[in-house]
Chain A
Amino acid sequence: MTTEAPSQSPVAAESTQRLFELAYQELHRIAQHQRRRVGALVTLNTTALVHEVYLKLSPYSQSQKLDRAHFLALTARAMRQVLIDHSRSRVCLKRGGEVVFTEVNENHPDATGDMADMLALDQSLNELTELDARAGQVVEWHVFGGLRLEEIADLQGITVRTTYRDWRRARAFLVQRLGLTNRVAQQ
């Protein structure tokens, strides 16, 4: 994926990179913290995670004169990066070593499949961003940052209608790329 952040405000690339790393670490830290507090995690709410990171790091972002949109973009991207890195490590692990199905969980039939799907989603999203940066951002924020389309419109400074259009177009693009249309045909 492209790691370059959308350049909307004149912030030093250095501090953007730093903030991204902070967000990335913070995600790990908060997740760990949450686990300790709650014990067994039933579900992990990524939206809540992103918000927590945002709150945590907002003083820093303010000191860096980073606008809210840009900062949210960073956290959403960090979330995305966390999940992609994890998927990649899992899929690589499987490819490298012996395939061990021994303890495939009956409730989660194929975790490797999820990881591979996640990587495919990432890949398609990159392609979309190449063609249509704004639509790509809508997807990233909506899917990984957990923002509602209205919020995204507000942050992007465009009408909700336009954001809806972007989302619809982006979604059709992803469906096509990920081969989901064929599945409909089969069903």
Chain B
Amino acid sequence: MDTARWLRISAVFDAAFEVPEAEREALLDERCGDDGELRRSVQSLLHADAAGGLLDQRVPKLRSAVAADWAYQDEASPAGSIIGCWHVLRELGRGGMAVVMLAERIDGQFEQRVALKLIKRGMDSEAVLARFLRERQILARLSHPNIARLLDGGLSLDGRPYFALEYVEGAQILVYCEAHSLSLRARLDCVLQICAALQFAHRQLVVHLDIKPSNVIVTEHGEVKLLDFGIAKLLGGGLTEPGLQTHAHLPRPLTPGYAAPEQVLGEPVSTATDVYGVGCLLYELLTGRRASGLQDRGNQEHARRALSRDTPSMPSQALGTSRTIADISARRLRGDLDNIILKALKGEPERRYPTIEALAEDLRRYLGGQPVSARRDTVHYRTGKFIARNRLSVALGAAGLVGLLATTTIALTQAHSARIHASRAQAVTHYLIDVFRVADPKGVPGGLRLSAREVLDVGAKRMQRQLVDQPELEASFSAVLGTIYQNLGDNERAVALLQRSLALHPLAERHESSHADTLALLARAQYEKGDYAVAAINSAQAQAEHGSGGQLSALVAQDLALQGEIARRQGEFSAGEVLLKKAISMSRASLKAPDAQIASQLNELAALYGDMGRIEQATVLTEQSLSMFRALYGEDHLDVAENLVNLGVFRMQTEHLAQALPAFDQAITIYRRILPNDHPLLALALANEARAFDRLKRYQDADPLYREALAMQRRVLGSQHPDLATTLNNLAVLRMHLDDFLGSAQFSREAMAIWASQGKPEHPFALISKAHLAAALRESGDLAQAERLSREVLASRRQQFGERNRAVAVSLDDLGTVLRLSGHADQAVIQQRLAQAMRQSLIDIPPQEAAAGRIQYALSESAAGDQQNAILEIEAGIAGLTTMKSLDSQQLADAYLAKARIELAQQDIPGGCALARQALALRPADDEQTGWRHAEAQSVYGECLAARQQFGAARYQLQAALSKLQHVRGADHWMTRKVRSALYPLQKLTRSSQIKGRLA
């Protein structure tokens, strides 16, 4: 534009304001005439004038923002000034919030240089101050050799907060490695030091969130120091930070190129965020390239990559075949190191190493030449072919026995039915990938190779944007995507999408079968998520809609099966049985066997029978289901694996422990082959195998498997899932077997808390955990609590199961035992007589359980004074034990000890002594720290010796038992007290006999 043109435009523009707005058009016509361009220019300028207010607002703000920034920037160099007891030497750097200076102590008492961080002037807004002070607080918690230490903090003379950090002289880690041409091993050692620092911080609930080379300094001694907790965060509270909470919605500071996807996307951060940071560091240290590939391409590119949850190219590829760094070549990175680094850099936090420790462990394993845990993604995962159905077979311990704790167990199986098979899901996924390829003319953005899951995520986001005007299309796409997400195990997303689909469903078609199908899918997803109540309502609604359509009996059967499954999960077994049987007969009528739907429903019914303790029926049904699945899919299939797990559980329940292990092993092998590292099904199989080990008394093999399963479930199912409660329950049983009663109690409490959070504090499984808690408390010495809990369990079970029930009988045993130990043998006898009578009318009581109940009853009768009855019962109990196929020597020892006690009470001294000696032989000296069984046997033997008037020997045995029990079970434990009271008269007696001896 030239000046002349501008003058013409200006003249018309100015004139336009001289006339009323209504006449403006006419004026423009007149003044511009044929000059259309002039008219357009003026009109555009008039349009701009309307937005003049924006400039009026923006300019003063802009001016003061720049002026303020200028003024702070212009701050005189603080060199020479004095802050606190520090003398500033020079500036080291400045960020947006603070200036960092090198300083030394004024008094010069000892030579100490510090990095002094002083908040900038004008930065003392509440939020900034809060963040600054929080960094100081966080640092105060972190005293670790690999973290720059906080030395001092306070206010400067002009009132600005500062803190002094250990000044680390050294080089940034990349520079250091480069300069010293460090070997691969040495580089990994550096990273392990960072891991140690982070592990420590994580234990203090601090996550760093800004791991990058410039925050890692290596000193000349090769010591690695982690700096800058400026954006660190406290997990799970502890410190209050009101100023920050209110700003939680604001974008969090981050470093592009190093920030984890969840940071970029503003999702919750966790320790996994630091795992990602360490992954970035490793990547750059070993390849010389940034994992993000970003040198400095700004925020948007980074955000896009975060959104696609893209994993970087393999480190070995990034290094290239021609390049080497020190002794690092692509060949050395290929395999384990590639896998380790990429596992740390997974887009989804839950797919990374769960902890820094796990990452460090893999690095150490790599350095030690051992196999690492990280493995390449399976093809199945990348194509999204896995179905997250979470069943967990449960081992439920019943009453523990005093001095024995041979927890009898009721294992319960849970099977599954696949609503939509993996193959179908895969076909839909592929179809959708093609759809999105077509939809995007440029192909996948940036030419990245995205996994099917990533395409799905992008597609789902895009759909919400693009189909906003086409509700019908969005409805059907939401349903399809929701189904796929459900099959991918992302139930949260599945529920949201399916709900969206239903909401968009055209009113007129509310009764079409597509609506019912979507509703059924929603019910399934809600069920998988653990929302049983809403799932049941929606499934019933779907069934009603399906039913009204006629000719849809296979679909109605599916609805019924889901309701059956829900009923089973809620402990409503008989309702579940009716529903599942009906579903199976409908499926058989409308489908041709072998069919996956029939097989699934058979499996489901088997699980129900498992829950009900009808193991024989359950085994038969599982075998039917298994052969149907094998006929359909061959060996390597999830359904086959699941049936194997169930079969293993049933074998375990029918005491075929040795045969259970191979079934579990087969299933685990299949899962490890086709599932990602973390998966609910894999966790289930692991937990079951752990249970088998527990049953085989291979406790040390069981414990790590349980813990692996537990950690996996927490990662994939969250902290409130019923399956987690089951694993906790089983782990509680194991800890009891290991004599860790307090640990056991804790796990039971956690399990109960989950059921309470599910609104089902009285669920049969919750009651089992409660019974375990009672037993653990009893054994740890808290009889009052144990009694209270036992009574609660008994009352709940009576209400649920009536007066003729195996679990009720066990509860009566438990209550009787705790009453006797509390000194109320007469009351104990009443409860236990009831239990005995109840068992007479029940069939299918495992002999071990019956014998255990008898022994407890005999002890109570004896304590209450009826020795005759006691001896009859104990003999019947021992007879029961000895007829068992697998004779449990510990349970036998318990029985002998009980009988010895009874015979002593009956004054059958030689008999009692003989039995006590046998028990002692069966209970050899045990663990120094936890063993108490030998001591208990010793004490009974001691009482026998006393009855035989061998006071010295008796005193020796009782004294030894007492000191061991005092150490292991505590001075105030009921068992210890009992021994002490047996010893007491003996001490008096020996003392008086000594006196007599002296007098004589």
Q: Say yes or no: B63 contacts A144, CB within 8 Å.
A: yes
Residue B838 is within 8 A (CB to CB) of chain A in the complex = no
Q: Say yes or no: A87 contacts B55, CB within 8 Å.
A: no
Residue B843 is within 8 A (CB to CB) of chain A in the complex = no
Residue B46 is within 8 A (CB to CB) of chain A in the complex = yes
Residues of chain B within 8 A (CB-CB) of A86 are: 66, 69-70, 73
Which of these binds chain A: B249-257, B557-565, B687-695, B877-885?
B249-257
Residues of chain B within 8 A (CB-CB) of A70 are: none
Closest to B10 in A: A169
* Residues of A160-184 whose CB lies within 8 A of B: 165, 168-169, 171-176, 178, 180-181, 183-184
Query: What are the interface flags for A27-43 relative to B under an 8 Å C-beta threshold, 1 for contact and 0 otherwise?
Result: 01001100100011111
Give min CB distance, A29 to chain B, whole Å. 10
Give min CB distance, A161 to chain B, whole Å. 10
Q: Once the chains are docked, how many angstroms separate the CA of A107 from the CA of B124?
A: 11
Q: Once the chains are docked, how many angstroms separate the CA of A1 from the CA of B83?
A: 42
- Which one, A28, A49, A132, contacts B6 given CB within 8 A? A132
Give min CB distance, B167 to chain A, whole Å. 19
Residue A155 is within 8 A (CB to CB) of chain B in the complex = no
Give min CB distance, A152 to chain B, whole Å. 16
Q: Once the chains are docked, how many angstroms separate the CA of A173 from the CA of B845?
A: 93
Give min CB distance, B243 to chain A, whole Å. 9
Give min CB distance, B124 to chain A, whole Å. 6
- Which one, B54, B124, B255, contacts A175 given CB within 8 A? B54
Give min CB distance, B284 to chain A, whole Å. 13
Query: What are the interface flags for A98-116 relative to B under an 8 Å C-beta threshold, 1 for contact and 0 otherwise?
Result: 1111111111110100110
Residue B128 is within 8 A (CB to CB) of chain A in the complex = yes
Residue B245 is within 8 A (CB to CB) of chain A in the complex = no
Closest to B298 in A: A99
- Which one, A100, A105, A144, A175, contacts B123 given CB within 8 A? A105
- With A109-B251, A117-B62 in contact, is A40–B124 under 8 Å at CB? yes
Q: Once the chains are docked, how many angstroms separate the CA of A168 from the CA of B49?
A: 7
Give min CB distance, A86 to chain B, whole Å. 4
Residues of chain B within 8 A (CB-CB) of A180 are: 48, 51, 54-55, 58
- With A101-B256, A103-B230 in contact, is A83–B74 under 8 Å at CB? no
Q: Say yes or no: B55 contacts A171, CB within 8 Å.
A: yes
Residue A44 is within 8 A (CB to CB) of chain B in the complex = yes
Residues of chain B within 8 A (CB-CB) of A130 are: 3
* Residues of A19-58 whose CB lies within 8 A of B: 28, 31-32, 35, 39-46, 49
Give min CB distance, B173 to chain A, whole Å. 15
- With A99-B296, A131-B6, A176-B45 in contact, is A115–B128 under 8 Å at CB? no
Residues of chain B within 8 A (CB-CB) of A99 are: 256, 296, 298
Which of these binds chain A: B90-98, B309-317, B510-518, B863-871?
B90-98
Residue B71 is within 8 A (CB to CB) of chain A in the complex = yes
Residue A153 is within 8 A (CB to CB) of chain B in the complex = no
Q: Once the chains are docked, how many angstroms separate the CA of A176 from the CA of B45?
A: 7
Q: Say yes or no: A43 contacts B68, CB within 8 Å.
A: yes
Closest to B259 in A: A101
Interface residues on A, range: 35 or more
Q: Say yes or no: A31 contacts B62, CB within 8 Å.
A: no
Q: Say yes or no: A104 contacts B71, CB within 8 Å.
A: no
Give min CB distance, A146 to chain B, whole Å. 9
Residue B841 is within 8 A (CB to CB) of chain A in the complex = no
Give min CB distance, B459 to chain A, whole Å. 26
Q: Say yes or no: B55 contacts A175, CB within 8 Å.
A: yes
Closest to B159 in A: A39
Give min CB distance, A186 to chain B, whole Å. 11
- Which one, B50, B51, B74, contacts A31 given CB within 8 A? B74
Q: Say yes or no: B47 contacts A101, CB within 8 Å.
A: no
Residue A121 is within 8 A (CB to CB) of chain B in the complex = yes
Residue A147 is within 8 A (CB to CB) of chain B in the complex = no
Q: Say yes or no: A107 contacts B296, CB within 8 Å.
A: no
Give min CB distance, A158 to chain B, whole Å. 14
Residue B914 is within 8 A (CB to CB) of chain A in the complex = no
Residue A118 is within 8 A (CB to CB) of chain B in the complex = yes
Q: Say yes or no: A172 contacts B73, CB within 8 Å.
A: no
Residue B231 is within 8 A (CB to CB) of chain A in the complex = yes
Closest to B119 in A: A40
- Which one, B65, B74, B256, contacts A108 given CB within 8 A? B65
* Residues of B39-65 whose CB lies within 8 A of A: 44-52, 54-56, 58-59, 62-65
Residues of chain A within 8 A (CB-CB) of B231 are: 102
Q: Say yes or no: A41 contacts B122, CB within 8 Å.
A: yes
Q: Say yes or no: B298 contacts A172, CB within 8 Å.
A: no
* Residues of B66-88 whose CB lies within 8 A of A: 66-76
Residue B840 is within 8 A (CB to CB) of chain A in the complex = no
Give min CB distance, A182 to chain B, whole Å. 9
Q: Once the chains are docked, how many angstroms separate the CA of A86 from the CA of B70?
A: 6
Give min CB distance, B98 to chain A, whole Å. 7
Q: Say yes or no: B63 contacts A46, CB within 8 Å.
A: yes
Residues of chain A within 8 A (CB-CB) of B95 are: 100, 102-103
* Residues of A123-175 whose CB lies within 8 A of B: 130-132, 143-144, 165, 168-169, 171-175
Residue B203 is within 8 A (CB to CB) of chain A in the complex = no
Q: Once the chains are docked, how many angstroms separate the CA of A174 from the CA of B10?
A: 14
Q: Say yes or no: A143 contacts B51, CB within 8 Å.
A: no
Closest to B97 in A: A103
Q: Say yes or no: B59 contacts A121, CB within 8 Å.
A: yes
Residues of chain A within 8 A (CB-CB) of B110 are: none
Give min CB distance, B821 to chain A, whole Å. 61
Residue B1 is within 8 A (CB to CB) of chain A in the complex = yes
Closest to B160 in A: A40
Q: Say yes or no: A115 contacts B69, CB within 8 Å.
A: yes
Residue B247 is within 8 A (CB to CB) of chain A in the complex = yes
Q: Say yes or no: B125 contacts A107, CB within 8 Å.
A: yes
Q: Say yes or no: A41 contacts B64, CB within 8 Å.
A: no
* Residues of B236-265 whose CB lies within 8 A of A: 247, 250-251, 253-256
Q: Once the chains are docked, how many angstroms separate the CA of A131 from the CA of B54?
A: 23
Give min CB distance, A145 to chain B, whole Å. 11
Residues of chain A within 8 A (CB-CB) of B71 are: 31, 35, 41, 44
Give min CB distance, A24 to chain B, whole Å. 12
Instruction: Pick 15 A–B contacts, CB within 8 A, sort by A.
Output: A31-B71, A40-B121, A41-B71, A99-B256, A101-B254, A101-B256, A103-B98, A104-B251, A107-B127, A111-B69, A111-B96, A118-B63, A168-B49, A172-B13, A172-B52
